[in-house]
């Protein structure tokens, strides 16, 4: 009897021990399960469940057989995986921070470069070397523009500052406005009704546009219609605004001072006149040339440079100082003059010479004789047009020899070096570059813009647009 009592007591003790062990085991499982849920939620960004949603204690005893775990939930993140994950997150944060810093630095550098460029441009000391990077032109995509309203010789071009609009004039009374995005005419106007001589009945002459220029903000278009007057038009609305009187002979050349509404004009009456388009009024006249003025140019400063044609002289007019500087060097009539920058300029003439000058010296730094060759009778081919990209070393010249030639002002603007020849047909009466120097526009014709003493039957009366090929890694002609 005593033995059975001890057996029953022992069995009750064992039973209580088993229940206690099962409770502890269930509690450990519930804690483990909740920890795994937290780890998986941190990886997948899911909602974290509370421990109350999972059975624990005595509840886990009855449902112990119903607990099931997936393989993903059962896997724990090892210390090595955690270190790897944290390292990746740290690297991503560093990359984002460095990318933001790089953008800020790049923006800062661009702003600094632009401010420096604008400052150097304002003081006339900006210099860019782009001629050495030009190695050719796009032969297959040369654009040729023709229109029935300008079936005669093209004489002048005026390019908008943004390079998207081009005005053309010739030996007809019409001025055409071209949209260079689609190479189509988007407007035109007739200068004939505003020909003062015809209206007064003094002289019946045909109007043709031999000179044009456009202001930097594209508010005004000035043109000379082969008479003594200057017509002012609105280039956007194509409306006539004003007609200036004052010259006593044919107006031959026009230019706006950069970023202003100050207009300079040259005439066969041997004078240079200044006009203010803000007041639409005459300002003053500059005298000194002994023959008709054939070319004129100006930059930002209150200075103008002009060529005196048959008097073979060039003059820089210091307007505020009321003085002038005289330069001599050509052997025959001077046709054109252009500023390269505030210190250097180029000129061309009937003697076939292309000259490079410094404002500080009376003689040319370099003269390229017979730059466009000779005619059959031994005379030099007349340079009829020149152009340049301001504040760079790139120059273009045209004649009647069938080529437009590109030149580089090398050796710190002391020498001229030919870099490219572009074949064309006829007289090159006007040349102009876009601001970047990537496109060249030429007005061609069978005759010279100022007369009809020579005619090239093979010439074409048209506008030619040439895309220049540039290599940014090309320096001094070498890759």
Residue 233: name the closest of 245, 222, 217 by CA: 222
pLDDT of 29: 45
pLDDT of 17: 58
Q: What are the residues whose beta carbons fall under 8 Å from the beta carbon of 376, sequence distance 6 or more? A: none
The answer to whether the beta carbons of residues 401 and 352 sit under 8 Å apart is: no
Unique residue bearing structure tokens 């100082």: 321
Strand partners, 388: 395
CA distance 68 to 169: 91
**How much is the pTM?**
0.75
Q: What are the residues whose beta carbons fall under 8 Å from the beta carbon of 93, sequence distance 6 or more? A: none
Taking the chain (479 residues) in runs of 10, the rounded mean pLDDT of each run is 44 53 51 46 43 44 45 66 89 86 77 75 77 94 94 95 95 95 95 72 71 95 93 96 94 95 96 96 95 95 92 94 92 93 93 94 93 89 94 95 95 93 94 94 92 87 95 51
Which alpha helices (H) appear in 123-217, and where do they start and end? 196-200
The answer to whether the beta carbons of residues 383 and 398 sit under 8 Å apart is: yes
The answer to whether the beta carbons of residues 376 and 391 sit under 8 Å apart is: no
pLDDT of 40: 44
Residue 469: name the closest of 423, 420, 431 by CA: 420
Tokens read off for 377: 């009778």
Unique residue bearing structure tokens 């066969």: 268
Residue 210: name the closest of 454, 459, 448, 31 by CA: 448
Residues 306-333 as b/e (b if ≥16 CB within 10 A, e otherwise) read: bbbbebbbbbbbebeeeebeebebbebb
pLDDT of 4: 45
CA angle 110, 115, 119 (to 5 degrees): 150
């Amino acid at each position: 009897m005593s033995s059975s009592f001890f057996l029953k007591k022992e069995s009750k003790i064992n039973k209580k021990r088993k229940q206690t062990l099962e409770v502890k085991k269930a509690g450990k499982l519930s804690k483990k399960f909740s920890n795994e849920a937290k780890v998986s939620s941190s990886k997948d960004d899911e909602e974290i469940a509370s421990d109350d949603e999972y059975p624990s204690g005595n509840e886990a005893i009855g449902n112990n057989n119903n607990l099931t775990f997936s393989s993903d939930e059962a896997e724990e993140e090892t210390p090595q995986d955690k270190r790897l994950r944290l390292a990746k997150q740290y690297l991503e944060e560093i990359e984002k921070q460095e990318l933001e810093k790089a953008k800020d630095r790049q923006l800062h550098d661009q702003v600094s470069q632009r401010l420096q460029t604008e400052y150097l441009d304002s003081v006339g000391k900006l210099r860019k070397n782009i001629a050495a990077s030009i190695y050719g032109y796009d032969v297959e995509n040369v654009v040729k523009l023709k229109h029935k309203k300008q079936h005669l010789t093209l004489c002048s071009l005026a390019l908008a500052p943004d390079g998207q609009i081009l005005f053309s004039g010739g030996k007809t009374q019409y001025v055409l406005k071209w949209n260079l995005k689609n190479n189509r005419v988007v407007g035109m106007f007739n200068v004939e009704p505003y020909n003062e001589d015809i209206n007064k009945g003094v002289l019946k002459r045909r109007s043709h546009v031999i000179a044009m220029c456009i202001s930097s903000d594209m508010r005004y278009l000035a043109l000379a219609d082969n008479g003594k007057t200057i017509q002012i038009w609105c280039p956007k609305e194509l409306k006539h605004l004003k007609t200036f009187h004052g010259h006593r002979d044919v107006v031959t050349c026009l230019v706006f001072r950069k970023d202003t509404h100050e207009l300079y004009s040259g005439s066969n009456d041997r004078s240079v006149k200044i006009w203010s388009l803000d007041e639409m009024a005459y300002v003053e006249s500059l005298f000194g040339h002994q023959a008709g003025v054939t070319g004129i140019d100006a930059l930002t400063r209150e200075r103008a440079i002009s060529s005196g044609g048959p008097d073979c002289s060039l003059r820089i007019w210091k307007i505020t100082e009321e003085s002038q500087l005289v330069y001599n060097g050509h052997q025959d009539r001077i046709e054109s003059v252009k500023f390269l920058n505030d210190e250097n300029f180029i000129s061309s003439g009937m003697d076939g010479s292309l000259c490079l000058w410094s404002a500080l010296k009376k003689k040319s730094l370099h003269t390229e004789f017979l730059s466009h060759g000779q005619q059959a009778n031994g005379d030099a081919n007349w340079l009829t047009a020149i152009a340049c990209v301001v504040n760079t070393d790139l120059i273009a010249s045209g004649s009647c020899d069938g080529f437009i030639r590109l030149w580089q002002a090398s050796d710190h603007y002391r020498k001229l070096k030919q870099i490219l020849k572009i074949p064309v047909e006829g007289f090159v009466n006007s040349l102009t570059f876009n601001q970047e120097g990537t496109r060249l526009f030429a007005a061609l014709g069978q005759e010279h813009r100022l007369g009809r003493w020579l005619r090239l039957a093979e010439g074409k009366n048209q506008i030619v647009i040439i895309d220049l090929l540039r290599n940014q890694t090309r320096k001094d002609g070498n890759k």
